[in-house]
């Protein structure tokens, strides 16, 4: 275990890092964690959308954004939705997750991952994360399934409760991709569907393949603090034409196509991304390569700077992965040092934040099944996110 950082060391390291961040952003004003970069290209595309009058869930920009996503990620199909949370809900729904099912996922995640599972009245079962990828641990997953699950009537069943383990949702933490080849292979062996929570990982690759394209489906987020934003929005991707068609059908109230009749053949949902949001995303897509390059440069600067400081290291991810560096993660020696750093940085006008409170520590999920979670708790006590946005010039 790391020793507690001496207060004077904490002050020195924080002040040095604050100076480095201000020099990078060339600003003495408040520096946010990750502000969107919006300017004339976005305004022009939005005006085109407004002039077309197609501002809701039908329009050229929704289709164009889906195609841009297909071309970029290598997925065969893409379905634009209102946000990442509802994208996960749709993916779980079309994957066959039902009430009382169990869905394996990680406790170290934004709450949307678990919330999407609960929307279907299924239950998350929390597994630990890996010390190198920061996403779902393949070792923990394999050990859990070998020891606590069995096959019954062609389904994977949890021995203790008798519930079906229907799906597994690894989340690519801060844009660092989980060990997806192993996770997919393990789940396939046990008959479990894999749905990637790729909300934070647009532009991240593992072994040369884009995140979100390893499992049956992957879901991305375009919230205002993501690398590419549509204000609110998300994208479900898959190589399975039937799953894509079903997801799109459900996202458009399950309406049977007809020139004027309104007939619906399933309980559907109004979850299609509006054309106005998609227009913003299309303009943002042109900027994506530049965003990713600037973020990689900033991450390298952080690593170089912190290599000269004591007691501070950066999250780096697997050697076989290329993260998008959505949010840079600083690892401090312990929780006390983390809290000192957070207070000093934020008081100095540098927005920093800890990782999310692990799901199993939230009152709403305390009673969910879980394994031992030592790495989850270790990271949650020590990691601070540093400003990671691009310098936007319009």
Q: For the segment 219-243, what is each residue's pLDDT rounded down to a tens digit?
A: 999 999 999 999 999 999 999 999 9
Three-class SS string for 237-265?
Answer: EECCHHHHHHHHHHHECCECCCCCCCCEC
Q: Which fold has domain 40-284?
A: 3.40.640
Contact 239, 76 (CB under 8 A): yes
Assigned CATH class of 7-36+287-386: alpha beta
* Mean pLDDT value across residues 97-109: 98
Whether residue 287 is predicted with pLDDT greater than 70 in this model: the reply is yes
Beta-carbon contacts of 93 under 8 Å, excluding residues fewer than 6 positions away, are 120, 247, 250
| Amino acid 393: pLDDT | 75
Q: Read off the pLDDT band of 5 (50, 70, 90).
A: very low
Confidence (pLDDT) at 12:
60
Structure-token match 């809290």, residue found: 339
Kind and range of the H or E run holding 341: helix 335-347
CA angle (22 as vertex; 20, 28 as ends), nearest 5: 155
Residues 38-47 have pLDDT tens digits of 999 999 999 9
Domain boundaries, the chain: 7-36+287-386, 40-284
pLDDT at residue 11 above 80?
Answer: no
- Rounded mean pLDDT, 7-32: 82
Task: Please write the tens of the pLDDT for every residue from 140-154.
Answer: 999 999 999 999 999
Distance (Å, whole) CA 303 – CA 314: 6
Q: Enter the pTM of the model.
A: 0.95
């Amino acid at each position: 275990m790391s020793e507690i950082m001496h207060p004077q060391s904490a002050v020195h390291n924080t002040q040095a890092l604050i100076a480095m961040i201000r020099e990078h952003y060339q600003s003495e004003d408040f520096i946010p964690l990750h502000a969107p970069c919006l300017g004339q290209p976005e305004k022009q595309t939005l005006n085109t959308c407004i002039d077309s009058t197609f501002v809701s869930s039908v329009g050229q920009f929704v289709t164009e954004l889906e195609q841009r996503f297909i071309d970029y990620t290598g997925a065969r199909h893409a379905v634009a939705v209102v946000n990442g949370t509802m994208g996960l809900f749709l993916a779980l729904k079309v994957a066959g997750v039902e009430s009382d099912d169990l869905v394996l996922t990680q406790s170290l995640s934004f709450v949307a991952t678990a919330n999407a599972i609960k929307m279907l009245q299924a239950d998350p079962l929390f597994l630990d994360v890996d010390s190198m990828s920061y996403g779902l641990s393949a070792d923990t997953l394999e050990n859990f399934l070998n020891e606590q699950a069995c096959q019954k009537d062609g389904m994977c069943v949890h021995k203790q409760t008798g519930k079906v383990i229907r799906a597994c949702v690894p989340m690519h933490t801060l844009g660092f991709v989980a060990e997806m080849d192993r996770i997919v292979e393990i789940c396939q062996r046990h008959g479990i569907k894999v749905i990637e929570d790729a909300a934070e990982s647009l532009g991240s690759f593992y072994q040369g393949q884009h995140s979100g394209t390893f499992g049956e489906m992957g879901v991305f987020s375009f919230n205002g603090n993501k690398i590419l934003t549509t204000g609110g929005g998300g994208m479900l991707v898959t190589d399975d034409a039937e799953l894509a068609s079903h997801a799109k059908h459900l996202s458009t109230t399950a309406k049977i196509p007809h020139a004027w009749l309104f007939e619906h053949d399933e309980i559907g949902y109004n979850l299609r991304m509006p054309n106005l949001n998609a227009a913003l995303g299309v303009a943002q897509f042109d900027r994506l390569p530049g965003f990713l390059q600037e973020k990689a440069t900033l991450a390298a600067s952080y690593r170089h700077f912190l290599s000269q400081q004591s007691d501070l290291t950066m999250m780096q991810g697997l050697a076989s992965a290329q993260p998008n560096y959505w949010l840079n993660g600083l690892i401090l020696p312990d929780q006390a040092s983390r809290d000192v750093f957070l207070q000093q940085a934020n008081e100095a006008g540098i927005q920093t934040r800890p990782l999310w409170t692990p799901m199993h520590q939230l009152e709403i999920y305390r009673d969910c099944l879980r394994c031992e979670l030592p790495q989850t708790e270790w990271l949650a006590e020590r990691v601070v996110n540093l400003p990671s946005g691009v310098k936007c010039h319009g």
